[in-house]
Amino acid sequence: MNNKAEYQDYLEELVIDKNSLDDECVESPALFDKWSRLEIVANEERDDAKSRLDVVRAKVELELRGMSMEHINQLAEKWTGKPHKLKSLSEGTIRALVCVSPEVQKAQKEYEAVASRASSYTVARKSFERRHSSLDNLVRLHGQGYFAAVEGRETKRIVAKKIREKLAAQIERSFPERSKSWLEGGRRKKERTIKRRKRVMREK
């Protein structure tokens, strides 16, 4: 992507608010269209950069083919930092010299940067495809009363936890010394349960 702000927008827009599924359904097509268009533009820029790279490669290759071996050896030493004594200009030598040409390397880096950005937009577009599917599933679950059931189970867990905490506080006030041993016993029991579960999982 172009910058951190755009990446932050991507992360924020990818989130689904389960409490506003109606708004999410309305916004989903626009978000998918936005990132699809950005991908199209990025792919066009990538293709343009690839065309420029091909032109630069061809230009350098033609220049090399028209040079004397003395000049080619001078360029090879300049581009690689090592002296060369090439006798003839083979196809392999031409390909190697084209690759180390500063002009080609610059165009190659520009292409790679643009191609990487295009790939990031492709990932974003696919993410919003999956987001749309997830949104469909959430709407379906909402229609089946799933979230009401989950909230009910969560409420029961919270109430049970508060009751346990209240009882533990009453025991500690009434029997401060004994409560310590009970709490320690509960802690050891919990540790044994966790170890047993881990052992069972390893055996499976």
pLDDT value at 182 more than 80: no
> What pLDDT digit, counting tens, does each position of 121-149 carry?
999 999 999 998 989 888 888 777 766 65
> What pLDDT digit, counting tens, does each position of 90-117 carry?
899 899 999 999 999 999 999 999 999 9
Domain check: are 188 and 92 in the same one?
no
pLDDT value at 172 more than 80: no
Domain check: are 151 and 135 in the same one?
no
Count of domains forming the chain: 2
Q: DSSP string covering 49-117, please? A: HHHHHHHHHHHHHHHHHTS-HHHHHHHHHHHHSS-----S--HHHHHHHHHH-HHHHHHHHHHHHHHHH
Domain range for 132: 1-144
Of the residues 98, 128, 144, the one at which a domain ends = 144
Domain check: are 66 and 108 in the same one?
yes
Domain check: are 39 and 132 in the same one?
yes
Domain check: are 152 and 121 in the same one?
no
Domain check: are 77 and 163 in the same one?
no
